[in-house]
Structure 1
């Protein structure tokens, strides 16, 4: 990847995905280490919630742990968002030929930790509204489902990369990051949608593999009646499924570690491409190694 002040080359969805894969391959160690941190922060609230539920079943007093759990949830959301933005910042540095180390990128993004929480909460509220809208669209006869899908994709494109703005632009806050991604994507909705679809086609086979154990484990339960089974017999029937479910969850965790950098790099390149066309940030693709 090379930068050129005179170039405003438009990147196709295929170019964006292939360039992202090349950069991923050249810097996978850095990206995976940050992705692992992001996924661990994201998983911590769910793991701790299971522990609290188990403790609550043993003693009612454990229920008071739900209050500190909410604080933990907010902190983990902020940390997971920040770590994801670190990956995008690292990729951005490579794309504009100003690479940073993981430590430098993390240090630059760290002061914005609580802005990532604010952004996540704002996006949560926005997507609640979007879900209400798409649900209402589905009530329209015949075309409702297609209109709902089209609206969902349109909003995904318009809100595709606010964490990149927050991670890269020094003075950006949560609301400004959302406004910036909305404004910058205004004239590029279709290319972004196509990029999302191409990237999804690349990612989805790995997640399908993760769900295979769960599906295989669920097959024996189809049509199974538990009414006439003793507790021991019911446990024996459902135990293989629970083991398969645990394996699928572990595989899903591993696949997420590998796919998070892929998506964050894509978002970073879309950001660079849009800025090159809307704001004059030059970008030119080359076939050489991004670190060459």
Structure 2
């Protein structure tokens, strides 16, 4: 634990900055181990279904290891993997259900927003006598009333997935940490724990994203340049004719490689942040971290 974080600090509510800072520290503390697990997890993505389940189970494994560090009960990978594998298929099922629910919520929200903005426009246009003025299809924003209504609507629609996802932000943590829990219970627990904290979690996600953004940009620039040169030369050696097809293949390989490397490096960081958020909420909702310590001891015995 970093010197500025004590047991007393962790039993109190952490501010957003402390959560991200502690997540970063935990991520760096065992970077090599987490990197290896993340690498294995991403390689499993090339194997359909079972490999996808392995990917999300490994993400849960990283969360469990990080959580055990937070509560001061370090656990071996073997022991943590034994507990995580009890819910092996539940991790994939939870992700699928969470995505479907978020998509359904987004679709309903999008339809309601579209209807509401259309009705509001018709009402205001009628009141101000603008109903006879059609919206310019080339430049709809030339209509001031349309612009005033559509901009907040577009912003709300684009930000809504983050709002819906924030309620399922912690779904993999209960599966990785708790015993005798299934996908539905994990999703319900995540929604229960995040109730009233949606804006706080969104702020944590955004801050963590912007902190990692320079690293992602630098990584993309360096690796995309390097991969393009290497793959371009390989393509010239293997293919006598160069064309758009070769360029498309090279671009696709570079994109896949960049996404994989980016995911491998950042996956443990996000699992660290989520683990700190889970610990912070559990401590405040359940009262004291002695409950967590007892729970951890029981699971590792």
Interval of TM-score (by shorter of Structure 1 and Structure 2): 0.7 to 0.9
Work out which of the two has the higher radius of gyration on C-alpha atoms and give 1 or 2: 2
8 Å contact from structure 1 (residues 207, 252) kept in 2: no
In structure 2, the CA distance between the partners of 1:135 and 1:93, relative to structure 1 (3 Å rule), is same
**1:236 corresponding residue in structure 2:** 243
1:272 correspondence with 2:247: no
The gaps in structure 2 that reach 5 residues or longer are 118-148, 229-239, 291-301
8 Å contact from structure 1 (residues 86, 106) kept in 2: yes
Give me the TM-score of the superposition, normalised by structure 1.
0.74
Counterpart CA distance in 1 for 2:110 and 2:55 is 29
**1:148 corresponding residue in structure 2:** 157
**How large is the RMSD of aligned CA atoms in angstroms?**
2.6
Counterpart CA distance in 2 for 1:127 and 1:276 is 27
In structure 2, the CA distance between the partners of 1:19 and 1:37, relative to structure 1 (3 Å rule), is same
Counterpart CA distance in 1 for 2:258 and 2:159 is 31
SS in 1 for 2:179: coil
Give me the TM-score of the superposition, normalised by structure 2.
0.72
Indicate which of 99, 104, 115 corresponds to 1:129: 104
- 1:84: Cα distance to partner? 0.3
1:28 correspondence with 2:31: yes
Indicate which of 117, 126, 141 corresponds to 2:92: 117
SS in 2 for 1:98: coil
8 Å contact from structure 2 (residues 63, 173) kept in 1: yes
Provide, for residues 139-173 of structure 1, a one-character-per-residue CA deviation record: whole Å limited to 9, x for no partner: 23422112223432221221101001110011211
- 1:29: Cα distance to partner? 1.6
**2:266 corresponding residue in structure 1:** 259
Counterpart CA distance in 2 for 1:183 and 1:24 is 27
The gaps in structure 1 that reach 5 residues or longer are 46-72, 218-231, 284-292
Provide, for residues 170-194 of structure 1, a one-character-per-residue CA deviation record: whole Å limited to 9, x for no partner: 1211100000010000021121111
Aligned residues: 239
**1:289 corresponding residue in structure 2:** none
Counterpart CA distance in 2 for 1:190 and 1:12 is 13
1:184 correspondence with 2:193: yes
